[in-house]
Amino acid sequence: MATSKLVSNTQTLLKYMALEQKGSIMAEYIWIDGTGTLRCKSKTLTKAVKSVDELPEWNFDGSSTGQAPGDNSDVYLRPVAMYPDPFRQHGNILVICECWDSDGTPNKFNHRHEAARLLAANASHKLWFGLEQEYTLYDEHNWPYGWPKGGFPGPQGPYYCGVGTGRVMCRDIVEAHYKACLYAGIQISGTNAEVMPAQWEYQVGPCLGIELGDQLWMSRFILVRIAEEFGAKISFAPKPIPGDWNGAGLHTNVSSEEMRQPGGMKHIEAAMKKLEARHVEHIAVYGEGNADRMTGKHETASYDSFSWGVANRGSSVRIPRAVAREGCGYFEDRRPASNADPYQITGIITETLYGGLPA
Ligand code: ADP
Ligand code: MN
Ligand code: MN
Ligand code: MN
Ligand code: MN
């Protein structure tokens, strides 16, 4: 996809962004399309709302997003979570929506619906999730930002948690994203430069149940939207550059109330057995192109088999050293790829630990 340098004038834009809205607010309705890519459109509300239930349902042309056939193209947007809008500010909001078909069933690509039901059915376990979102910044030629044109930087080593010119790229985007997430009320818990130059990570969580998926998708929207302003592209590809360059993951940290209590280690170990038995089912929803990333090298495990270990970054699941020492806490599922859907991840983990929905 070609990008063109927009003739933009930030100073002039700011003058209009500060204008009074005469009581109306702008709501940006956001959803996930048939390819796992974000879409959005704006709606004026004549007054502010206090909760998401007050937001009207809306619709869009699903034949333009790969979500519906042309002869029955209406897909409905049902608001499920809202956040203060860091772009427009002034009481305007960002809204995460579920997609529903006209016959009253969830759209084929609405993975939130099932996950929300699984998590609600198991609410008593008080599942917390904390995800580590890795991503790569690309320039307009779809090459990692700041890499020599058509060439490669020096080998990995100096870049992870790096400081300084030539070691990190685009810190301005990372800083803007961090602040904007805090403004929006996203529980962003930190950020760091990654092993491959132009690759970064931020963490969201721990969040209770379905809130993790909502917040992570919102944090991705904010990231992609900010990068648009800076003229960079966000890639969630699991293995952006083949060879001796780290891939990008979405490490998923998980705990139930039982696991967090003293003696919780036995619940974590029981979870390992359950996860092992369903490795194939998990891998199926842990992101596209993940086999290229999970080579057994670069801090990944093998794609084909399940393993777990204390402090082992080469296993499918890692128990942090401190958790093993204290005998309770959480585990880290290192298998999900950076492009995986957090609704599918949290949904299948819940199902594997506690069983599916009653028929
Ligand atoms: P790593 O050492 O793997 O790089 P990070 O510090 O990047 O770990 O991320 C750890 C993640 O674990 C954070 O997103 C945090 O929210 C999450 N986390 C911490 N405690 C828990 C818990 N009890 N349950 C679930 N997630 C947790
Ligand atoms: Mn139209
Ligand atoms: Mn991390
Ligand atoms: Mn990382
Ligand atoms: Mn991790």
Separation CA 340–CA 285 (nearest Å): 7
Residue 45 β-bridge partners? 25
The helix/strand/coil state of 327 is coil
Percent of the chain past pLDDT 90, that is, above it, reads: 91
pLDDT value, residue 356? 82
SS (H, E, C) 263-281: CCHHHHHHHHHHHHHCHHH
59 phi, psi to nearest 5 deg: -150, 170
180 CA to centre of ligand 1 in angstroms: 21
The single residue listed with the structure tokens 């003696």 is 263
Q: Residue 305: give its domain's CATH number.
A: 3.30.590.10
Q: Is 334 in the pocket of ligand 1 (CB under 6 A)?
A: no
Number of domains in the chain: 2
For residue 62, being part of any structural domain is answered with: yes
Mark whether 159 and 281 lie in a shared domain.
yes
Mark whether 306 and 168 lie in a shared domain.
yes
Res 307 pLDDT > 70: yes
Mark whether 312 and 163 lie in a shared domain.
yes
Of 350, 342, 112, 128, nearest to 250 by C-alpha is 342
What angle do the packed helices 211-230 and 342-354 form, to 10 degrees?
160
User: At 1, is the pLDDT very low, low, confident or very high (cuts 50, 70, 90)?
Assistant: very low
Q: Is 347 in the pocket of ligand 1 (CB under 6 A)?
A: no
36 CA to centre of ligand 3 in angstroms: 23
Of 62, 76, 74, 69, nearest to 33 by C-alpha is 62
Q: Containing domain of residue 276, as a range?
A: 120-354
Res 87 pLDDT > 60: yes
Of 260, 275, 251, 256, nearest to 322 by C-alpha is 260
What angle do the packed helices 211-230 and 171-184 form, to 10 degrees?
140
121 CA to centre of ligand 4 in angstroms: 32
**With 0-12 CB in 10 A as exposed, 13-18 as middle and 19+ as buried, what is 43?**
middle
Q: Which atom of ligand 1 is nearest to the CA of 334?
A: 3
Mark whether 304 and 176 lie in a shared domain.
yes
For residue 275, being part of any structural domain is answered with: yes
For residue 226, being part of any structural domain is answered with: yes
Q: Which atom of ligand 1 is nearest to the CA of 259?
A: 23
pLDDT value, residue 358? 78
Are the C-beta atoms of 162 and 168 separated by less than 8 Å? yes
The helix/strand/coil state of 121 is helix
For residue 283, being part of any structural domain is answered with: yes
pLDDT value, residue 177? 98
144 CA to centre of ligand 2 in angstroms: 36
Of 41, 75, 109, which residue is a domain's last? 109
For residue 346, being part of any structural domain is answered with: yes
Res 2 pLDDT > 60: no
Mark whether 154 and 88 lie in a shared domain.
no
Separation CA 158–CA 191 (nearest Å): 17
For residue 114, being part of any structural domain is answered with: no
Q: What is the Cα gyration radius of the chain?
A: 21
pLDDT value, residue 229? 92
Mark whether 53 and 130 lie in a shared domain.
no
112 CA to centre of ligand 2 in angstroms: 27
Q: How far is CA 292 from the centre of its chain?
A: 20
Mark whether 147 and 270 lie in a shared domain.
yes
Res 292 pLDDT > 80: yes
Q: Residue 99: give its domain's CATH number.
A: 3.10.20.70
- Joined together, the tokens standing for residue 250 give 């979405």
Q: Which atom of ligand 1 is nearest to the CA of 260?
A: 23
Res 90 pLDDT > 80: yes
Mark whether 124 and 69 lie in a shared domain.
no
User: At 351, is the pLDDT very low, low, confident or very high (cuts 50, 70, 90)?
Assistant: very high
14 CA to centre of ligand 3 in angstroms: 35
Of 276, 286, 304, nearest to 344 by C-alpha is 286
Average pLDDT over residues 315-326: 97
Mark whether 276 and 185 lie in a shared domain.
yes
- Joined together, the tokens standing for residue 186 give 């996203």
Rounded to 5°, the CA angle 221-232-154 comes to: 120
Mutational test site, ligand 1, from 119, 127, 129, 132, max ligand atoms within 8 Å of CB: 132
Are the C-beta atoms of 215 and 186 separated by less than 8 Å? yes
Greatest C-alpha distance within the chain: 60
- Joined together, the tokens standing for residue 236 give 């969630």
Of 58, 86, 109, which residue is a domain's last? 109
Q: Is 203 in the pocket of ligand 1 (CB under 6 A)?
A: yes
Mark whether 203 and 148 lie in a shared domain.
yes
For residue 9, being part of any structural domain is answered with: no
Of 109, 141, 175, which residue is a domain's last? 109
- Joined together, the tokens standing for residue 69 give 């056939």
> Residue 183 carries which DSSP code?
H
Q: Which atom of ligand 1 is nearest to the CA of 253?
A: 26
Cis peptide before 242 (omega within 30 of 0): no
pLDDT tens digits, 101-138: 999 999 999 999 999 999 999 999 999 999 999 999 99
- Please state whether beta strands 250-255 and 233-235 pair in parallel, antiparallel, or not at all (unpaired): unpaired
Mark whether 101 and 153 lie in a shared domain.
no
Closest-lying ligand to the alpha carbon of 255? 1
Q: Is 254 in the pocket of ligand 1 (CB under 6 A)?
A: yes
For residue 12, being part of any structural domain is answered with: no
- Contacts of residue 145, Cβ cutoff 8 Å, sequence gap at least 6: 137, 138, 139, 169, 170, 198, 232
Mark whether 34 and 163 lie in a shared domain.
no
